């Protein structure tokens, strides 16, 4: 018998939340709200000269446990003040202790683009993200090529940048086949949550032409420089900047 991974458990919980959302909203009304919500340019922020920093707001994670509590509006403003190019806000409620209210609070008190970070498994979650965020995370491991391409297209139609997250060569090929333009290489294996910065270094050469984000495991300026030297346009930093926001300014200065 196959033992479910942490990612499997997170995806199962996300499907339940998606079902509850479908039962509670008018989908066409949600689409109208998504279309009318003014977006900030997430992709342009990643393409700025130098190494862009996506600073993350999260209270906890399966790997780190409880990190710390904070006011998302204050944390987002602090990140922006320290030079963050974008924000990532966890909205997964169980393992990460996030919420859509955290997303609203952080975006409402900042002027930089914000990605909703969650475990997207249903098209309605993409539409929901477009009513309050500028980008959406799509984890390649949760899709086949056809469905991933469909979700990327949907994101574009509702004005979102799709950040497609991969971890290995199979997923890299899947993302490219699906037409992903922004690809995040997660140095953390979501099946067992081990981290290896060499993952980005190994996969980046396969992804020429895409805008690349190095995710997870960046804890120091040296780590960020290593990712930049391997081809990263941006780094997504979570736990380290939640513990020390000053790191945002130091990484933003990497050229």
Express the helix, strand and coil content of the chain in percent, nearest 5 each. 45, 20, 35
Distances 188 to 3, 32, 77, 192 between C-alpha atoms, Å:
19, 36, 27, 8
165 given a catalytic annotation = yes
* Positive or negative: CA dihedral 188, 185, 55, 220: positive
Contact 106, 80 (CB under 8 A): no
Quote the DSSP letter at residue 210: S
Mean pLDDT by 10 residues, the chain (255 residues): 75 95 94 96 95 96 88 97 97 95 98 97 97 98 95 97 97 96 93 88 96 96 96 95 93 87
Nearest alpha-carbon partner for 56 in 196, 224, 215, 220: 215
Q: Where are the alpha helices (DSSP H) in 82-207?
A: 100-108, 123-129, 145-157, 169-177, 198-203
187 given a catalytic annotation = no
Q: Which of 52, 55, 58, 128 is catalytic?
A: 58
DSSP string, 29-61: HHHHHHHHSPPP-HHHHHTSSS-EEEEEE-SEE
117 given a catalytic annotation = yes
Domains of the chain, each with CATH number or no CATH: 6-252 (3.20.20.70)
173 given a catalytic annotation = no
Nearest alpha-carbon partner for 214 in 185, 181, 172, 180: 185
pLDDT at 1: 45
Q: Which of 117, 128, 187, 239 is catalytic?
A: 117
Give CA–CA dist 55/213, Å, rounded: 12
Angle at 88 between CA 140 and CA 129, to 5 degrees: 70
Q: Which of 80, 165, 201, 239 is catalytic?
A: 165
Contact 233, 49 (CB under 8 A): no
201 given a catalytic annotation = no
pLDDT at 64: 83
Contact 88, 216 (CB under 8 A): no
Q: Which of 186, 187, 239, 252 is catalytic?
A: 186
123 given a catalytic annotation = no
216 given a catalytic annotation = yes
Contact 33, 169 (CB under 8 A): no
Give CA–CA dist 47/171, Å, rounded: 23
Looking at the whole model, is its pTM more than 0.85?
yes
């Amino acid at each position: 018998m196959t033992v479910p991974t942490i990612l499997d458990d997170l995806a199962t919980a996300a499907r339940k939340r998606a079902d509850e959302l479908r039962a509670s909203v008018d989908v066409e009304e949600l689409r109208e709200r998504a279309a009318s919500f003014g977006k900030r340019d997430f992709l342009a922020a990643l393409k700025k000269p130098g190494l862009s920093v996506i600073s993350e707001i999260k209270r906890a994670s399966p790997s780190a446990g409880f990190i710390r509590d904070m006011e998302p509006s204050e944390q987002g403003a602090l990140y922006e003040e320290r030079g963050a190019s974008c924000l990532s806000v966890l909205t997964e409620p169980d393992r990460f202790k996030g919420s859509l209210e955290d997303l609203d609070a952080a975006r409402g008190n900042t002027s930089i683009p914000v990605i909703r970070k969650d475990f997207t498994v249903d098209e309605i979650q993409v539409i929901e993200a477009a009513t309050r965020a500028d980008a959406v995370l799509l984890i390649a491991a949760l899709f086949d090529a056809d469905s991933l391409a469909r979700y990327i297209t949907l994101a574009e139609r509702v004005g979102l940048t799709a950040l497609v997250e991969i971890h290995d060569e199979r997923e890299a090929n899947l993302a490219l086949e699906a037409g992903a333009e922004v690809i995040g290489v997660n140095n953390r294996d979501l099946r067992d949550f081990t981290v290896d910065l060499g993952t980005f270094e190994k996969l980046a050469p396969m992804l020429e032409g895409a805008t690349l984000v190095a995710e997870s495991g960046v804890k120091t300026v040296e780590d960020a420089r290593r990712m930049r030297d391997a081809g990263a346009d941006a780094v997504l930093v979570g736990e380290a900047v939640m513990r020390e926001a000053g790191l945002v300014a130091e990484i933003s200065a990497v050229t």
